[in-house]
Structure 1
Amino acid sequence: MEILKIEIKNENKILSKLEEDIKNLGGNYDYNPIWQSIWWNLMLQKTGYIKKWFFIWIYEKNELKNYILIEKRSIWAGFYALFVLGWPANIYKINELKDELVNLWKEENTVYIQIEPLENDIIFEWFKDIKLKIFIEKCTVLIDLEKSEQEILAWMKQKWRYNIKIAEKNDVKIEKALNNEKNLNIFYDLLKETNSRDNFNINSLSYFKNFLNYLYENDLWWLYFAKKWDKVIAAWIFVFYEKTAAYYYGASTSDNNFRKYMATYLLQWEMILEAKKRWCTLYDFLWITCEDDKKSHLIWVSDFKLKLSQNVKKWPKSQIYINKKAIFILFYFKNFLKKFLK
């Protein structure tokens, strides 16, 4: 058994080989999290949202058995934390990887480590359940793409099927957008319009520019438009990674003269069909309000997603390892005050 660690700085032949090995390993799983892929890490580096990336992996007889990708992010006034999203995918030598992760905080001098796990039975010693920033919302809606089109439609609420027909009847067109500044601005203007309606946080325009540039260059996912009379009335970004397709970002007009055409419903349906063509086995709507959370910022979108499927998946709670208790307490109190004063 060989355990190795590197800091990810740029694309090279070693990383290409590791990404290929990750894909081969992920082929054994039903759910493929994009957050534990090398290309996702490299894309975020280009957006400037992270300070460093690290990759720790285990090989045995020249075969990748398990791995972990770690983000180092700024949290407050020169202090940093380590974040691990969508890990672990399996439990092979899990404690050895956990020990390497804990050792990393000493080298990087971080305040805490936060893991957002996807396995319900993984509980690490010394890690605590403390609610801080959530990167992966704890509930999502999934569609089994191995079902037939008729079966998927049957699982949808009748209102969804009806709204798809309204969009088709009114000649709403769905098209893949070219990656250029004009289309980026169309998407971002619609996103700001959606934000003013539904009140959620959005990333900067420069983030989406770097984001889309990297994804188009690597043929990873795309921006799609829904149009009526050549006017873009909805614009969404979808990802197709291994066996999992995901609806990642969405924006739509607030003009009721166009909302009545139900373009977003047809856009989702066309992407479900596209995912089936790409041999994906799961379609992930990426996050809804959990049943016990009445104050979630996702309430506005949850009803929309639950009309497509009632297959709700709940991920485990975050786990946090505190390295610098005094600084962590100050940081936690600052966040509490910020939420209280909103």
Structure 2
Amino acid sequence: MWYKDGDEIQAVALIIRHGLPFGFSYLYCPRGPLFNFQFSPPAGGFNFQKKSKIFEGLLEKIKEINAEEKAIFFKVEPEADFPFNLSDFGFVKSEKEIQPAETVILDLTKTEEELLAEMKSKTRYNINLAERKDIKITQQATHNSQLTTFLELRLHPKEYYEKLFAAHSPNFSVELFLAEYNGKTIAAHLLVFFGNPARTTDVVQSGGQAVYLHGASSREHKETMAPYLLHWEAIKQAKNRGCLIYDFWGISEKKWPGLTRFKKGFGGEEKNYPGAFDLVFAQFWYWVYNIVRKII
């Protein structure tokens, strides 16, 4: 959904309805909303009152949606801090975050040599090892027979990936990177490309970025270090497209120590997200929801 001020789109948000038991639900906006003033402010910028008005306008549209959905609450997990306090608009800090609270970002404006130099020595070694093992990397931009191969390694139901591949636009694409060894697929990465770097003034753009969404690998031939080469080839592909950043999409020393160590080996900068915030529509059921969630 979006909010317009005159003829200009000033804010956009992906709204997902999450079903709960007994017919209840909540609305969810991952890594958003996104505002025009975050990416392409007009000459002179927006003042605080203008930004607040835009956010209020977006919330009114959310409430219109909820008039039909009858959700318990609306959860947001912003990409970055807003220039105002969400508590001033009725939001409370959520007890539950859905998206990872931290990630690792690579700056793709750097040269390949600079990116390699900033990696851990073990990561560089494993990339070279995979190349010496003659790992072949292929790329698929559409839903085809290669998706079946990925599904054999998948973490989510088949329908999830089919819907993901079906969702595409000029500013959004999902692509599959496969690693083959001796003619057999042993690892796969699913990447999402956001934005057209040539159109950085568009509200839904942030200069073009690649996001590592999912990965999977076979238990066979782990010694080939295929996932390292998969990432490196994906990073180079994103750089060649003009993307400005490569997002490893989530780290946590506590929850995923091994995966976090793997991702941090590629260098980059660690980024912390603001967290999750809830706008409560039904206070009693929100209280019940939080109690039940802690029990189960």
TM (norm. structure 2) is 0.82
- Deviations 1:123-155 (Å, cap 9, x if unpaired)? 322211122251x21111000000111111111
Residue in 2 that maps onto 1:117: 78
CA distance in 2, matches of 1:319, 1:216: 29
- Deviations 1:18-48 (Å, cap 9, x if unpaired)? xxxxxxxxxxxxxxxxxxxxxxxxxxxxxxx
- Equivalent of 1:127 in 91, 94, 100: 91
Residue in 1 that maps onto 2:132: 169
2:249 is the alignment partner of 1:286: yes
Residue in 1 that maps onto 2:5: 59
CA distance in 2, matches of 1:179, 1:107: 35
Q: 1:222 to 1:56 in 2, by over 3 A?
A: closer
Q: 1:247 to 1:319 in 2, by over 3 A?
A: same
Residue in 2 that maps onto 1:221: 174
- Equivalent of 1:326 in 284, 288, 292: 284
Whichever residue aligns with residue 222 of structure 1, its letter is: E
Residue in 2 that maps onto 1:83: 28
Q: How does 1:116-195 map to 2 (within 5 A)?
A: 116-121=77-82, 122-124=84-86, 125=88, 126-132=90-96, 134=98, 136-177=99-140, 182-191=145-154
- Equivalent of 2:230 in 267, 292, 295: 267
CA distance in 1, matches of 2:2, 2:29: 12
Native 8 Å contact 1:81 1:111 kept in 2: yes
Native 8 Å contact 1:71 1:83 kept in 2: yes
How many residues align structurally?
265
- Deviations 1:77-112 (Å, cap 9, x if unpaired)? 201111112223335322332344345434432111
- Deviations 1:195-220 (Å, cap 9, x if unpaired)? xxxxxxx3211222332344599981
Cα-Cα RMSD: 2.3
SS at match of 1:220: strand
TM (norm. structure 1) is 0.71
Q: 1:227 to 1:278 in 2, by over 3 A?
A: same
CA distance in 1, matches of 2:30, 2:166: 23
Native 8 Å contact 1:215 1:222 kept in 2: no
Q: 1:265 offset after TM fit, Å? A: 0.5
Gaps of 5+ in 2: 38-50, 196-207
Native 8 Å contact 1:238 1:246 kept in 2: yes
SS at match of 1:190: coil
Gaps of 5+ in 1: 1-54, 192-201
CA distance in 2, matches of 1:179, 1:100: 34
Q: 1:326 offset after TM fit, Å? A: 2.1
CA distance in 1, matches of 2:97, 2:172: 30
Paired-residue identity, %: 28
